[in-house]
A and B are shown apart, each in its own frame.
Chain A
Amino acid sequence: MNTLSTATTTTPAASPAERTRLVQEFAYRMRHHILDMGEVQGQGYVGQALGASEMFAVVYADQLNFRAEDPDWTSRDRFLLSTGHYAIGHYAALAEAGIVPVAELETYGSDDSRLPMSGMATYTPGMEISGGSLGHGLGVAVGTALGLRHQGSGSRVINFMSDGELDEGSTWEAAMGAHHHGLDNLTVLVDINALQADGKTDTVLRTEPVADKWAASGWFTQRVDGNDAAALVTAFDHAADPGQRQGRPVVILCDTRIGRGVPMLETREKAHFMRIEEHEWQLCREELTAGSEGQNR
């Protein structure tokens, strides 16, 4: 086992506070990687990735069972990124998890890189599916969970999706399918940053009340502050409790803030594809570092 794959099964003694600290530190280092990769391209889905850093971090630092040196290990848990454009965040997590070398991150989005702008399974170790055409991840996750269970595997499946994907009918086909087949080895994280390509979610296509919809679809549903590492750890602990879970698939709805950790980006006019000027990247890094020191991390 890789030392970073701190699944609860391997570190049962760690306290929630200690696990939370590890998730926070993982997310902080991820954010530096995200800014570094963003600077390579000069633009990109930096805001979303910064906002979702704790979500990736709780998966890779606290939940996922994997082997960094053997990404295709048969007994691994599967993490399926259906929002392909969040790849910049996923690469940062894969680097922190030891699956992709940190030095390789500077190739992000460049010709012949293993780290394309939109995540693809055929390019990157640790990337299970090719996301990007939205509303695909959950259906594939349902089949993966069915297939693993059918073959007697205890591996879990975690699907990361964005709230924009709640617009897609295929997401709800899959939500019904997971419930119908009683897939309690499946967990979905929904990043609710309330922003889509054409604007705020409530002006593009109203998806609320999101929690009611998942609950009505038969899922064990929790809604948390997705930038609160302690809340995420607690949500996964609740989901791991058979009494609460009751054999259902699990969804953790995560309200996040775009650009989180870098105040100048948090307060900037929100854009799906954020543009950051050349001279601003270093300022972003300084704000990120200062914020971290302020929180005494």
Chain B
Amino acid sequence: MTTTPTTKRLKTSAMIASIAEEGQKTTPAPFGHALARAAEQNPAIVGLTADLGKYTDMHVFAQAHPDRFFQMGMAEQLLLGAAAGMAQTGLVPFASTYSVFAARRAYDFLCLDIAEPNLNVNVVGGLPGLTTGYGPSHQATEDMAIFRGMPNLTIVDPCDSVDIEQAVPQLADSEGPTYLRLLRGKVPTVLDEYDYTFELGKAKVLRGGADVVMVSSGLMTMRALAAAQELAKHHVDVAVVHAPTIKPFDAETVLREIDGDRLVLTLENHSVVGGLFETVASAVVRAGLGQRIVPVALPDEFLDAGALPTLHDRYGLSIKAVVAKVLAEL
């Protein structure tokens, strides 16, 4: 190096980088607390993890219900096989690991042991999409693409702590297997400021807008709402439709909103292949709408390592990048 960088480089820091904006309201470990509460109502609920209890907020459940927590070790195939066996005895397991391991490493076990017999096993995947700067080994950029082809599996991509807290008891009550894209640690609390409740299988209009419709899931709904506020300063009126259940998909609500002259975008923390964009696109084609859709999604490539804000900027998931994309499209 012959020159000194003029700007300080951001650091990658911990495995699980915070997705909260500075000063944003957060809720600690919403999944762990919600599961512990649900377990007080439902004695069949048990928790399992594959050596990632602390990193998936399962430790909160384990502390609240130590006799109902099962450590399976760093053995994801066993984690999901054993969860299937427990479900066959009438229990309702929640099994946590990172999304990359659930999707890539233990797929066959989720598919054949759990989904084919349609057992009530709830898989909880940490680090969905681009939520770590540790590179492709931990970035589950294609988890929804992998899982969407699996019959019987319900896929939920929650936005914030409100979504997670409300989803957990519904996942426990629903028949058949589910996959939850977990946000953990201090999770932003956003949707409490909207007239909103999580309903499994439903998309909800969070705000109306005359010029643009954003259909979003997961943490990108937060970004969509923030981008909508920024765009208002540019006199652009943006509607936001939150679709946290990716499968089965609420095409009826989404199609009703995007059928018109407004600019349509989909926003997802996932590869542009096989996630929300293609889910919406296929619904549009089936309905014969011929609507153009602009995707905000991760590129179809292995992503860089680095600091999360840097990467979100680089791959177009930051609020700034979303605003710029809308202005360029109008």
Contacts and interface: CB of A to CB of B under 8 A. Distances in A.
B81 A136 contact: yes
B73 A143 contact: no
Interface in B23-56: 46
Contacts of A145: 85
A143 B114 CA distance: 12
B171 interface: no
Nearest to A144: B85
Contact of B75 (A130, A144, A148, A176): A176
A209 interface: no
A181 B109 contact: no
Nearest to A177: B78
B75 A143 contact: no
Contact of A173 (B78, B88, B93, B108): B78
Interface in A110-157: 121-122, 128-130, 132-133, 135-136, 138-148, 150-151, 153
Given A133-B108, A173-B78, A177-B75, A142 B117 contact: no
Contacts of A135: 77
Highest count of chain B CB atoms <10 Å: which of A121, A148, A169:
A148
Contacts of B82: 139-140, 142-143, 146, 174, 177
B112 A169 contact: no
Provide the main secondary structure of the chain B interface. Answer: helix
Nearest to A159: B85
A118 to B, nearest CB: 11
Interface in A237-287: none
Contacts of A206: none
Nearest to A137: B81
Contacts of A144: 85-86, 88-89
A177 B73 contact: yes
Contact of B86 (A128, A147, A174): A147
A33 B90 CA distance: 34
Given A122-B116, A143-B85, A147-B91, A136 B78 contact: no
B84 A173 contact: no
Interface string A71-88: 000000000000000000
Provide the main secondary structure of the chain A interface. Answer: helix
Interface string A180-191: 110000000000
Interface in B278-319: none
B89 A147 contact: yes
Contacts of B64: none
A144 B72 CA distance: 14
A130 B90 contact: no
Contacts of B75: 173-174, 176-177
A140 B73 CA distance: 15
A139 B81 contact: yes
Contacts of A128: 88
B114 to A, nearest CB: 10
Given A146-B85, A150-B46, A140 B113 contact: yes
A32 to B, nearest CB: 32
Contact of B77 (A122, A139, A180): A139
5 contacts: A121-B117, A129-B88, A129-B117, A174-B77, A180-B73
Top 7 closest A-B pairs, CB basis? Answer: A139-B81, A143-B85, A143-B82, A147-B89, A144-B85, A173-B75, A170-B77
Interface of B: 46, 68, 70, 72-73, 75, 77-78, 80-91, 93, 108-109, 112-113, 116-117
Interface of A: 121-122, 128-130, 132-133, 135-136, 138-148, 150-151, 153, 169-170, 173-174, 176-177, 180-181
Given A133-B112, A143-B81, A151-B91, 6 more contacts: A130-B112, A140-B88, A140-B113, A143-B85, A150-B91, A174-B78
